[in-house]
Amino acid sequence: MVYRPCGKNMQSSACLLHSVFNCLSLTAGPLGLAREILEKDAEPFFVLNSDVICSYPFKKMLELHHSHGKEGTIVVTKVEEPSKYGVVVYNPTSGQIDRFVEKPKIFVSNKINAGIYIFSPTVLKRIQVKFMSLEKEVFPFMAQDGQLFAFDLEGFWMDIGQPKDFLRGMALYLSHVRQTSPERLAEGDSFVGNVLVDPSAKIGQGCRIGPSVVIGPNVIIEDGVCLSSSTVLRGARICSHAWVQSSIIGWQSVVGKWVRMESVSVLGEDVIIQDELYVNGARILPHKNITVSSPDPQIIM
Amino acid sequence: MDLLKRQSSVFQLNGKLKAVILIGGPHVGTRFRPLSLELPQPLFPIAGSPWLQHHIEAIVKHPDVREILLIGFYNQSQQMSRFVDDMQRKYGIPIRYLQEYAPLGTAGGIYHFRDQILRGNPRAFFVFNSDVCCDFPVWEMAQFHSNVTGGNGYVILGTEANEQQALSYGCIVEEPSTHKVLHYVEKPETFVSNIINAGGYIFSPDIFQHLTRAFTANYENELIHDAARDSIDLHSSVLTPLAGNGDGGKLYVYKMNSGFWTQVKNAGHAIYANRLYLSLFKERHPEYLATNTPGGHEIYGAVRIHPSAQIDSSAVLGPNVYVGAGVVIGAGARVREAIVLDRAVIQEHSCVLHSIVGWDCVLGAWSRIEGYPSDLNPNDPVAKITSESLFNLDGRLNPSITILGQGVSVHSELIVLNTVVLPHKELTSSYKNQIIL
């Protein structure tokens, strides 16, 4: 996703650009496609990978980017096991990036590329419309030229490409909401911890919801449901007395009465789980009607 | 018939009938742990009545039966004598428990207590194994004994099984026109017959000549240890020799024409037996079964609830559930295919499926107690429940019902799946496919 602040202090409306790429073009290609729009003026633009979550400090990023005046700024975040990632080596005082090291065996840095960037349009001259990787074919040269700076992310960051990490990222994001705008979180006897409920969702009597639950638009939670560490997507229904933990309930899905779901069970769109079943760590593809329990983790196609 | 009438006639039962129920002993009950730790297996409630009561109820339907003798080697306990008293009062028939001095096998007890059985000169006597569960065709057996055997034969109750399952039982080859038993073999390795011994008999008193012969043979056999000499196996020492040999061919088979039959070898089979007897109640004792009432809890199928149980109006029960005395079932709880024993507490939103919840257990809110159903192949009308061992070849617990022993407490929101929990455990995390000692 490319996000372009219109106006110096991001107060005016921002433009969202969505470039549809016809083939797998990795990370740089889509930027080439959007060149015309991005080059309209000299204003910088944000580039975000959508499979990460953090507190998104856009304003501070923009300030830093303006202060160094170079082509690009990338957000870096601290990780516990840098040997699993590509790490970023940079000058701690100036923030200027020296080099990238892929999966270092010997410790060089514990900061990694967080997948969030701000670029000036001049960066586009380095990019062609083709299968091209920002990380491998663009950033190392920008660093060589002294055009790339690191922005040190404070607070949480999580790669949410996997369902398990998605749920952890969701919990981190909810505690961030608790700190920054607690009024968005649900309050009441039925709620425990950080719970985000869309105003159009309906919640029954005698439920216990939370901690770390997100309930989407038009969701129906019937009476006596126990829900924790889960996301319930738009239009889904959780029937009475069901117990759901660490699961993702897909759009329009139905979880039957007295169903127990746990251990990162994921329902695709429009899945029906019949009453009284046990679903443990199952990944269920869309439009399935599940009539028997799945006590061991499996993919149901 | 009231108690006095039957009792006054006990010494003049010339030509009447008696019944013997072989109830085994605690060594057999090990297969019924952890429930038999608290209660002798024959007294365990199935469909809300002590196991043996189903036998007794079937037996007393025949008005000629004047006495019931329970033979086994459970110690005389308060539980046992209270049960015997209750049954005598309820059914108006003399019932006595005769305790063997040692395990005497399937026929040793009958032989040992022969004087008790023959006292009053009954014309014949029934023998039932307590570990079978069926709608005992007592009338039909007695009639068969009089009409087909001429009143002086020995009759085995038979039932049909499929070819594979027949191998786990005593197999009977029948001469179809006379119903005489041509051949009898216990647990053959290869297929012999699909008629199996259903664990019920009616014998003329002269069966004792064959028991005496078996007993004498034991004493003449120097290979048999002294302590085991009084033990007689009905199958190998009596039935097999009687089948299809001389003796005028007095051994017959009466085949149950229909209806359920199962052997109950371990606690896992109890849920199945519970279902069978509850379905029998639909015809015989509809008054035992709960019905839906406006504003009351929801009932599906056959459910028997002790009058002292307290059940929230939003709970849903059944099919095939027994709820014992003093049980408390909370709001939005679900119980299906289960036996919930006295004083257990099932808190709100919990779900109990294919399980036995022991006396005084406490199940927390949103807990799930689940076993695997022991269902038979629905396309095989003569399928029988298989008595698998507890563990499979990999040493893992075979899928079976979940059993919570007495006084087990399960914390809220946990799942206990295919697990046997011994008494008085407090479970603070979920368990699957385990035995918790």
Chain A positions touching B351 (Cβ under 8 A) are: 241, 258, 260, 276
B236 with B294, same domain? no
Nearest CA in chain B to A245: B413
Alpha carbon of B148: minimum distance to chain A alpha carbons (Å): 50
Is residue B390 domain-resident? yes
Is residue B280 domain-resident? no
Structure-token pair, residue B93: 């028939």
Classify residue B269 by its DSSP letter.
G
Is residue B276 domain-resident? no
Is residue B140 domain-resident? yes
**What pLDDT, on a 0 to 100 scale, did the predictor assign at position B353?**
97
Single out the residue of A251, A284, A250, A278 nearest to residue A262, CA to CA: A278
Would you call B351 and A223 a contact, using CB atoms and an 8 Å cutoff? no
Size of interface A-B (CB pairs under 8 A): 43
Chain A positions touching B413 (Cβ under 8 A) are: 226, 243, 245
Strands A260-262 and A278-280 turn out to be: parallel
Q: At what angle do helices B105-112 and B207-220 cross, to 10 degrees?
A: 110
Active site residue A103: yes
Q: Which of A59, A103, A164, A202 is catalytic?
A: A103
Would you call B332 and A223 a contact, using CB atoms and an 8 Å cutoff? yes
Per-residue pLDDT 10s for chain A (301 aa) are: 555 554 444 443 445 555 444 434 446 667 777 777 777 778 888 988 888 899 889 999 999 999 998 999 999 999 888 888 889 999 988 899 999 888 888 888 889 999 899 999 888 888 877 777 888 888 889 999 999 999 999 889 988 889 999 999 999 999 999 999 999 999 999 999 999 999 999 999 999 999 999 999 999 999 999 999 999 999 999 999 999 999 999 999 999 999 999 999 999 999 999 999 999 999 999 999 999 999 999 999 8
B347 with B254, same domain? no
Q: How far apart are CA A253 and CA A268, in angstroms?
A: 8
B416 with B299, same domain? yes
With a cut of 50, list the residues of chain B below it in pLDDT. Answer: 1, 8-10
Domain boundary among B228, B263, B298: B263
The pLDDT tens digits for A212-238 are 999 999 999 999 999 999 999 999 999
Would you call A260 and B368 a contact, using CB atoms and an 8 Å cutoff? yes
Residue A278 CA to chain centroid, in angstroms?
29
B225 with B298, same domain? no
Domain boundary among B263, B298, B313: B263
**What pLDDT, on a 0 to 100 scale, did the predictor assign at position B370?**
96
Chain B positions touching A262 (Cβ under 8 A) are: 415
Is residue B421 domain-resident? yes
Structure-token pair, residue A22: 């016809």
Does any CB of chain A come closer than 8 Å to the CB of residue B348? yes
B165 with B220, same domain? yes
B293 with B208, same domain? no
Would you call A240 and B368 a contact, using CB atoms and an 8 Å cutoff? no
Using omega within 30 degrees of 0 as the cis cutoff, is the peptide bond preceding B63 cis? no
The pLDDT tens digits for A156-200 are 998 888 999 999 999 999 999 999 999 999 999 999 999 999 999
**What pLDDT, on a 0 to 100 scale, did the predictor assign at position A7?**
44
Does any CB of chain A come closer than 8 Å to the CB of residue B349? yes
Count the Cβ atoms, other than its own, within 10 Å of residue B239: 24
B317 with B237, same domain? no
B104 with B183, same domain? yes
**What pLDDT, on a 0 to 100 scale, did the predictor assign at position B391?**
64
B122 with B52, same domain? yes
Interface test with A, best of B351, B367, B370, B434 (most A CBs within 10 A): B351
Q: How far apart are CA B138 and CA B196, in angstroms?
A: 18
Would you call A258 and B334 a contact, using CB atoms and an 8 Å cutoff? yes
B91 with B239, same domain? yes
Contact residues for A252 (Cβ-Cβ < 8 A; gap 6+): A234, A235, A236, A269, A270
Interface of B with A in 34-53 (CB under 8 A): none
Is residue B401 domain-resident? yes
Q: State the SS3 of chain A.
A: CEEECCCCCCCCCCEEECCCCCCCCCCCHHHHHCHHHHCCCCCCEEEECCCEEECCCHHHHHHHHHHHCCCEEEEEEECCCHHHCEEEEECCCCCEEEEEEECCCCCCCCEEEEEEEEECHHHHHHCCCCCCCHHHHHHHHHHHCCCEEEEECCCCEEECCCHHHHHHHHHHHHHHHHHHCHHHCCCCCCECCCEEECCCCEECCCCEECCCEEECCCCEECCCCEEECEEECCCCEECCCCEEECEEECCCCEECCCCEEECCEEECCCCEECCCCEEECEEECCCCEECCCECCCEEEC
Interface test with A, best of B298, B350, B366, B430 (most A CBs within 10 A): B366
Residue B224: which CATH number? 3.90.550.10
Chain A positions touching B336 (Cβ under 8 A) are: 276
Overall number of domains in chain B: 2
Chain A positions touching B432 (Cβ under 8 A) are: 295
Q: What percent of chain A has pLDDT over 70?
A: 89
ipTM score for this prediction: 0.84
Would you call A295 and B432 a contact, using CB atoms and an 8 Å cutoff? yes
Identify which of A224, A276, A278 has the shortest CB distance to residue B349. A224
Would you call B332 and A224 a contact, using CB atoms and an 8 Å cutoff? yes
DSSP bridge partners of A52? A159
Would you call A278 and B432 a contact, using CB atoms and an 8 Å cutoff? no
Alpha carbon of A54: minimum distance to chain B alpha carbons (Å): 31
DSSP B80-144: HHHHHHHHHHHHTS-EEEEE-SS--HHHHHHHHTHHHHHTT--SEEEEEETTEEE---HHHHHHH
B93 with B238, same domain? yes
B80 with B205, same domain? yes
Chain B positions touching A226 (Cβ under 8 A) are: 349, 365-366, 413
Is residue B273 domain-resident? no
Kindly list the residues of chain A whose beta carbon comes within 8 Å of any beta carbon in chain B: 206, 223-224, 226, 240-241, 243, 245, 257-258, 260, 262, 276, 278, 295
The model carries a pTM of 0.86
**What pLDDT, on a 0 to 100 scale, did the predictor assign at position A175?**
94
Would you call B331 and A276 a contact, using CB atoms and an 8 Å cutoff? no
**What pLDDT, on a 0 to 100 scale, did the predictor assign at position B394?**
67
Is residue B346 domain-resident? yes
**What pLDDT, on a 0 to 100 scale, did the predictor assign at position B248?**
55
Residue B325: which CATH number? 2.160.10.10
**What pLDDT, on a 0 to 100 scale, did the predictor assign at position B222?**
72
Domain boundary among B245, B263, B281: B263
Would you call B417 and A260 a contact, using CB atoms and an 8 Å cutoff? no
Contact residues for B345 (Cβ-Cβ < 8 A; gap 6+): B327, B328, B330, B361, B362, B363
Nearest CA in chain A to B351: A258
Alpha carbon of A210: minimum distance to chain B alpha carbons (Å): 14
Domain that holds residue B340: 289-436
